[in-house]
């Protein structure tokens, strides 16, 4: 039986910062409840929290790692890909999502938002988040998830 992966939406959750883990976990949970797979960079903080939330809600998670060894993935990653790309793997993280939600974050997250925009992926920054011109913002995890799913259904 074919995988029909293409019928399942994949949403990339990006960001960093221990203080944003609760929000990221909620985003992961909500995405899983809505039937989406969660894609992250596979490491700690926001990436681990989003994957943990998705697994708590019975979802499926993909981790796209900077190094060559998939053992570096956090324990909530179901499917780990080792790229050896270092920070350039940020491109693959957002390219592999149909849409992108940013939770906290710093320079690495900004590079991901930039790549997501270049790729034309819908992106939303969850408050309080990075400053970035021309990027939509959401006040709550619920709003962020609603936003990207609405965009995927009705592209702007």
Give the pairing type, strands 99-104 and 79-82.
Answer: unpaired
* Structure tokens that stand for 73 in this block: 């993935």
Q: In the range 94-123, which residues lie near a copy of itself by CB under 8 A? A: 95-96, 107-108, 110-111, 113-115, 117-119
Give whichever of 19 and 107 is closer to a copy of itself, judged by the CB atom: 107
The answer to the question of residue 155 lying near a copy of itself (CB under 8 A) is no
d(CA 133, CA 152): 21
Q: Which residues contact 127 (CB under 8 A, 6 or more apart)?
A: 137, 138, 139
| 84 makes contact with a copy of itself (CB under 8 A) | yes
* Contacting range for a copy of itself; rule: CB under 8 A; set: 17-25, 28-36, 69-77, 143-151: 69-77
Q: Please, which of residues 38-57 interact with a copy of itself by CB under 8 A?
A: 51-52, 55-56
Alpha helices in 3-156 (DSSP H): 21-33, 46-56, 89-95, 107-119, 141-153
Two tokens, residue 45: 């903080």
The site for a copy of itself (CB under 8 A) is made up of 1-6, 10, 37, 51-52, 55-56, 60-62, 64, 68-71, 73, 75-88, 91-92, 95-96, 107-108, 110-111, 113-115, 117-119, 130-133
């Amino acid at each position: 039986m074919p995988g029909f992966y293409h019928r399942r939406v994949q949403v990339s959750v990006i960001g960093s910062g221990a203080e944003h883990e609760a929000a990221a976990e909620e985003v992961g949970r909500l995405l899983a409840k809505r039937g989406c797979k969660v894609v992250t960079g596979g490491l700690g903080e926001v990436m681990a929290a989003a994957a943990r939330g998705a697994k708590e809600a019975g979802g499926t998670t993909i981790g796209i790692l900077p190094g060559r060894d998939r053992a570096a993935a956090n324990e909530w990653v179901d499917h780990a890909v080792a790229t050896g790309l270092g920070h350039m793997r940020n491109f693959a993280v957002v390219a592999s999502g149909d849409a992108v939600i940013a939770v906290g974050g710093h320079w690495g997250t900004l590079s991901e938002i930039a790549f997501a925009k270049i790729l034309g992926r819908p992106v939303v920054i969850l408050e309080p988040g990075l400053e970035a011109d021309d990027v939509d913002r959401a006040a709550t995890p619920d709003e962020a998830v609603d936003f990207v799913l609405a965009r995927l259904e009705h592209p702007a």
